[in-house]
Amino acid sequence: MNKLVGFIGTGSMGQTLVEALIRSKALRPSQILLSNRTRSKAESLAESHPGIRIAENNAELVRKADWVFLCVKPRDYRDVLDEIGGRAGKEQMIISITSPVMIRDLEAALPSKIAKIIPSITHAVLDGTCLFIPGSRLTLRDREELLNLLSAIGTPLEIDERHCRVASDLASCGPAFLARFLEQLARAAGEVTGLPRDTALLLIIRMALGTARMLTEGGFTLESLQERVAVPGGITRKGLDLLERELDPVLIRLFRLTHAKFVEDVEKVRQSLQGAGSKG
Ligand SMILES: NC(=O)c1ccc[n+]([C@@H]2O[C@H](COP(=O)([O-])OP(=O)(O)OC[C@H]3O[C@@H](n4cnc5c(N)ncnc54)[C@H](OP(=O)(O)O)[C@@H]3O)[C@@H](O)[C@H]2O)c1
């Protein structure tokens, strides 16, 4: 691909995306243009990858780039859209990575082709799922080119925008949720038996890695793996029965909680974006 790709926002996810795209060789540093509110953050990313350029501001970035990834938090969208609104072109693709910013609001603010993706921290190791929600102005070729780029850093999956939150909970928040579960497993093991934390973590992380490989390469499903390890009346079965009883209600509350927060965020963002894009 020979496009110039801009990134507005080089925080945690902007940086992860830039580095993954370079490491996977999907983009050369010379194809990347950055802009960040605190310029020094963009400068330090550019220093690590000679060839990356930094725009004077968001407006300049949008004037130059073919595609623009918006990697800012929901509360910063209004400022960014006002800065780039008058510069964004019809042929440009603007790709938002933020779940509560709805495609229809971006299409109302900008004349450009709009897409939403929800990346995952796991792209740092070129793995995990990148959710993809195309806007109404994308051509078949735009979709193919974007999916092609995303497949270099993980597995892209097109989803309906109404499933964006739950899919993000799984693909994008999931690494944090799973890490917390594994951490609690280590803590509980130590508390009950005195097993040193380092030993517990070593066991748990190798176990998680091996389990993931059994599920992806070993021909097992979640069910068949449980059946294979747990024999009736055995120790694993007792543990599984407890987890099913006690954990299900917690997980139901988890999704209710993320969705309640999402509804709040969507409303806040929608209000903040009324009339956005018209000042640029
Ligand atoms: N982190 C994840 O795992 C993840 C996964 C999927 C999606 N996302 C989404 O990605 C978005 C960014 O998250 P993050 O974790 O990367 O946040 P972050 O670390 O706070 O990064 C946001 C960046 O945007 C910059 N910024 C803010 N306003 C700007 C403006 N007007 N012009 C240029 N740059 C501006 C900030 O600059 P300063 O340096 O001045 O603060 C900061 O570097 C969020 O909407 C989040 O939902 C995150």
Give the containing element (helix H, strand E) for 176.
helix 174-193
Confidence of residue 232 (pLDDT cuts 50, 70, 90): confident
On whether residue 233 sits in a domain, the answer given is no
Q: How far away, in angstroms, is 220 Cα from ligand 1 center?
A: 38
* pLDDT above 90 (res 113): yes
Residue 178 neighbours by CB under 8 Å, 6+ apart: 208
Mean pLDDT for all residues in the chain: 96
Reported as a single tens digit per residue, the pLDDT across 145-154 is 999 999 999 9
On whether residue 35 sits in a domain, the answer given is yes
Reported as a single tens digit per residue, the pLDDT across 80-98 is 999 999 899 999 999 999 9
Q: How far away, in angstroms, is 113 Cα from ligand 1 center?
A: 21
CA–CA distances in Å: residue 49 to residues 29, 68, 192? 6, 19, 47
Pairing of strands 67-70, 93-96: parallel
Total structural domains within the chain: 1
Q: Determine whether the shortest distance from the Cβ of 9 to ligand 1 is under 6 A.
A: yes
- Mean of the pLDDT values across residues 229-250? 95
On whether residue 66 sits in a domain, the answer given is yes
Reported as a single tens digit per residue, the pLDDT across 11-42 is 999 999 999 999 999 999 999 999 999 999 99
User: Running DSSP on this structure, what letter comes out for residue 119?
Assistant: -
What CATH number did the domain enclosing 149 receive?
Answer: 3.40.50.720
On whether residue 107 sits in a domain, the answer given is yes
3-class DSSP assignment, residue 187: helix
* pLDDT above 70 (res 280): no
Q: Compute the half-sphere exposure of residue 91: CA atoms within 13 Å on the CB side of its CA.
A: 5
Q: For a substitution probing ligand 1, which of 12, 33, 102, 165 has the most ligand atoms within 8 Å of its CB?
A: 12
On whether residue 196 sits in a domain, the answer given is no
Residue 11 among known ligand-binding residues? yes
Q: Determine whether the shortest distance from the Cβ of 11 to ligand 1 is under 6 A.
A: yes
85 with 280: CB under 8 angstroms? yes
Range of the domain at 95: 5-171+266-272
On whether residue 258 sits in a domain, the answer given is no
Q: Is the dihedral of CA 67, 71, 73, 76 positive or negative?
A: negative
On whether residue 246 sits in a domain, the answer given is no
On whether residue 45 sits in a domain, the answer given is yes
